[in-house]
Chains A and B, each alone.
Chain A
Amino acid sequence: MAKETVDITPQHKTGIRPLYFGLLIVGLIVLLLVNLALGSVDIPLGDIVQILIGGEAASEAWNKIIINIRIPRAITAVLAGSALSVGGLLMQTLFRNPLAGPSVLGITAGASLGVAIVMLAGGTITSIFAIQQLSAFGSWLIVIAASFGAAAVLLLILLISIKVRDNVTLLIIGLMIGNLTIALVSIWQYFSRPEQIQDYLIWTFGSLGGVPLDQLWILAVVALVGGGIAMVLSKPLNGLLLGENYARSMGLSVSGSRIWIIVSTSLLAGGITAFCGPIGFVGIAVPHLTRSLMGTNDHRVLIPATLLMGAILLLACDIIAQVPGSTTTLPISAVTSMVGSPVVIWVIIQRKNLQASF
């Protein structure tokens, strides 16, 4: 009997694509260098590399520009891109909804509310920038407030998700909660003085350049802790892909995992929003791009790949935002939406339906 036997080669066993990871890392390095090289002042690439490896550039001003402005900005872009993307990935898996993401579900709005409350509770006429200039303590305060704001909205959505099983309904509820939160913030704005409103408006445009070098580590710690929790959650996240009942039947603690997913997303989305303002669409678009590239839904591969892809995308957006060859800078959240929306449309059209690409 000629029975066909199929060998299960090791390639089926793991979704790890070393080639793609290599490409992502190379892409990240290239974009980092391009990002550093571009700006209102022209600095030759040779000098930039010189500074990066610890040497001195030809001009003292160049030194200062690179170390105090461009490096913090590039690192912020890397951290924000990675954190928001992984936050989006966690939301998409938790809600089993391809359109979920920190900004859509009102989590970013929650973080904004947290920030607004801190500014109100301060009583004084302070802007977020003023608080950031204040001290590392001020930064922590904003990070914690933003994370709590994000967590409050997420918890509310999660509570509703126990009652409402339908994902689309839940998404609409999330959008409404986001609107509600934004409404609260605008009431606060209405009773504020014009200069405060201006500060807030500038904050809502999003900025990668607002994090000074000496506070960058706070952002880094928040992003690393949030990302670290996400990595540890890979296994339950994989289980959740099949739905909560299956996850439980395979011995995974669903309620525990849910809480940790919320903690991680709140830290990631809240922390980044506190420092950079609401940056939309990265969280939705990057996980889809990464799934398409890696061809897997295994979170052990997907999370690191999403980190890299998110950093690359936000660096690219930042390069566009700086409008190479000019002295103008565009608001980063406008650029991410301009880049992110077509990406989502492209994914939908390519895959015929978004659920399928999920």
Chain B
Amino acid sequence: MKNNEPIISTQHLDIGFPAKGRKRAPTVVVSNINVALQGGQVVCLLGPNGSGKSTLIRTLAGLHNPLDGKVLLNGKNVTHFSVKEIAQKISTVLTDRITIGNISVYELVAFGRSPYTGWFGSLNKKDEEIVEWAIASAGIEQFVDRDVLHLSDGERQKVMIARALAQDTSAVLLDEPTAHLDLPNRVEIIRLLRKLAHVTNKGILLSTHELDLALKAADTLWLISRDGEVITGTPEDLVLDGTFEAVFEKDSFDFDRSTGSFTLHNPKKEPIHLIGDAVPTFWTRRALEREGYKVVEDNGTTLQVKTYSKQDTFEWKVISEENEDYCSSIKDLLGILRKSQRSNQ
């Protein structure tokens, strides 16, 4: 028994594009989707490019018609609600670019009150309070009267999130909210969304193709697999049971379960046993993997690297069959390894 009613759920939902012309069949992108978005949760929607992440978000937001099956909003079929009623329950941040200028951040955020205001769109006292709350929650007070055109990508994304907050909905759906952002901005946006989910009890669904970020940020993952089905679960469970790996594995791309990250490089060179203090070992491992070495746990290898650290100075010791070398930078370490490899050949 669940005591937490989902805000949005689906039953045997098929998404895709309707048939064009008389002969062609509809293009089903993902079929038989059964998912539920609960309040207070951050859900990350993951899938390879072109797997239907945006289509699913648009379908859930009522911007796209499902091919088959149902989208339920508070347990009722979404088709029973008017556009305005849906807008009072679901807000969205899309990938559509905002190309207009001559509009202030405040005015843009205030557009979020559209589902509640009258025909002329005038804000009353309560509307203004909510707009101000949304601006404060998204942390964009510093540029409320700036022209939307003069915002950086990260700032614009926060403004669009504030606009969604002003819509005062129980679910917020975001399509690729961290795309085109640098790392600090990505982290900031994710933190903001997590905070909102937990403070306001909103159900937040975001699609992304940044896997490590999703693994860290999500309470639940929705994975769209290559054969077009949606698998849901807690991120760690999906990693442990190999589902995560199966969805994203590509020939030259390996998911490392022990670090939760993808390795870019196929190890072609001999295995190295790496030991030492945590911080230098972590970075040395990355350098070695980039070079094509396979870093292993057991010490039955011919090559061994040891790291030592004294405050901010580090030292490395390379042990091979013939000799031992010491060096004081990763650059030198890689130099030593390259030299010994050349002499071996």
Cβ of A248 and Cβ of B83 under 8 Å apart?
yes
Give 6 nearest A-B pairs by CB, closest first. A251-B87, A251-B115, A235-B121, A251-B84, A250-B114, A6-B141
Known A-B contacts A8-B135, A234-B120, A358-B101; A249 and B94 likewise in contact (beta carbons under 8 Å): yes
Question: Does A207 sit at the interface, judged by CB under 8 A?
Answer: no
- Which residues from 234 to 280 on chain A have a C-beta closer than 8 Å to any C-beta of chain B? 234-235, 238-239, 241-243, 245-246, 248-253
Complex contact B94–A12 (CB within 8 A): no
Which residues of chain A in 198-251 are interfacial with respect to chain B, using CB atoms and an 8 Å cutoff?
Answer: 232, 234-235, 238-239, 241-243, 245-246, 248-251
- Asked if residues A358 and B119 are in contact (CB atoms below 8 Å), the reply is no
Which of A36-44, A139-147, A293-301 lies at the interface? A293-301
Contact of A245 with B123 in the complex, beta carbons under 8 Å: no
Contacts of B257-311 to chain A: CB distance below 8 A? none
Q: Is the CB of A300 within 8 A of B63?
A: no
Known: A13-B106, A248-B63. A358 touches B100 (CB 8 A): yes
Given A12-B104, A242-B111, A249-B92, also A235-B83 (CB < 8 A): no
CB distance from B188 to the nearest CB of A (A): 17
The distance in angstroms between the C-alpha atoms of A238 and B91, with both chains bound, is 17
Provide the bound-state CA to CA distance between A339 and B171, in Å.
51
Instruction: Give the CA-CA distance A239 to B113 in the complex, in Å.
Output: 11
Chain B: number of interface residues, binned into ranges: 35 or more
Chain B, 89-110, contact with A by CB distance < 8 Å: what is the 0/1 string? Answer: 0111010101111111011101
- Complex CA–CA separation, A252 to B114 (angstroms): 8
Chain A contact-residue range equals 35 or more
Task: Give the complex CA separation of A334 and B165 in angstroms.
Answer: 50
Residue in A closest to B114 when the chains form the complex, CB atoms? A250
Q: Is A341 an interface residue (CB 8 A)?
A: no
Q: Given contacts A249-B61, A252-B114, is CB(A297)–CB(B120) below 8 Å? A: no
| Number of A-B pairs, beta carbon distance below 8 Å | 109
Q: Verify B94–A296 contact, CB threshold 8 A.
A: no
A249 — nearest CB in chain B belongs to which residue? Answer: B92
* Contact bitstring A7-50, B, C-beta under 8 A = 1, else 0: 01001110100000000000000000000000000000000000
A298 to B, closest residue via Cβ: B107
Please give, as numbers and ranges, the residues of chain A lying within 8 Å of B61 by CB-CB distance.
249
A-B contact list, 30 entries, CB within 8 Å: A6-B144, A8-B106, A12-B104, A15-B104, A15-B107, A96-B99, A232-B119, A235-B114, A235-B119, A235-B120, A235-B121, A241-B100, A243-B94, A245-B92, A245-B94, A245-B96, A246-B96, A249-B92, A250-B87, A250-B115, A250-B167, A251-B83, A251-B115, A296-B104, A296-B107, A297-B103, A298-B103, A298-B107, A358-B101, A358-B102
